[in-house]
């Protein structure tokens, strides 16, 4: 039967093995954020200082997760390199904790948001002090 067509199904219909769960991506990202933060504390690499996991962005297919982090003390570039080297170890720890079929490949990126916020605050303070001197 060449040209057999299912009646009543739209052309872009895809078969899913489960019903779509609302906000699942956000909940998975949130759980990954908590678990990765705990797993990072167990790392012994001296290049990894006091790391704060700011956000986790997970792709729709859960294949990749970008983990945005900041550090209190240390070199951000060295810390990023060390975390990406330890990504396999951390991912293995996630396998044991998460109850999802696919645990994403982890990619660590230094989050410059806090750094930029401090720079902007300093600029605003400087502008306000110059304005006060002029008045």
At 86-103, the pLDDT tens digits run 999 999 999 999 888 889
The CATH number of residue 107's host domain is 3.30.300.20
SS (H, E, C) 102-132: CCCEEEEEECCHHHHHHHHHHHHHHHHHHHH
Provide the residue range defining the domain that includes 65. Answer: 24-128
Q: Would residue 18 count as lying in a domain?
A: no
Overall number of domains in the chain:
1
Q: Does residue 135 belong to any structural domain of this protein?
A: no
Residue 1 in domain: no
Question: Residue 67 pLDDT > 90, yes or no?
Answer: yes
Region 126-134 average pLDDT: 83
Is residue 97 one of the residues assigned to a domain? yes
**In a domain? residue 19:** no
How many whole angstroms separate alpha carbon 51 and alpha carbon 68?
A: 10
Residue 59 lies in a domain: yes
Predicted TM-score of the model (pTM): 0.72
Confidence of residue 51 (pLDDT cuts 50, 70, 90): very high
- Quick check: 5 pLDDT over 80? no
The percent of residues above 90 in pLDDT, for the chain, comes to 54
Q: Is the pLDDT of residue 18 over 80?
A: no
């Amino acid at each position: 039967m060449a040209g057999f067509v299912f009646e009543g199904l739209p052309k872009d219909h895809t078969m899913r093995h489960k019903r779509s769960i609302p906000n699942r991506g956000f909940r998975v990202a949130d759980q990954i954020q908590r678990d990765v933060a705990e797993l990072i504390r167990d790392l012994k690499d001296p290049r990894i200082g006091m790391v704060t996991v700011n956000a986790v962005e997970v792709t729709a297919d859960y294949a990749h997760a970008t983990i945005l982090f900041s550090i209190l003390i240390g070199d951000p570039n060295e810390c990023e390199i060390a975390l990406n080297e330890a990504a396999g170890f951390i991912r293995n720890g996630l396998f044991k904790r998460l109850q999802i079929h696919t645990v994403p490949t982890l990619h660590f990126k230094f989050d410059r948001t806090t750094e930029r916020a401090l720079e902007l605050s300093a600029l605003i303070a400087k502008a306000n002090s110059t304005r006060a001197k002029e008045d």
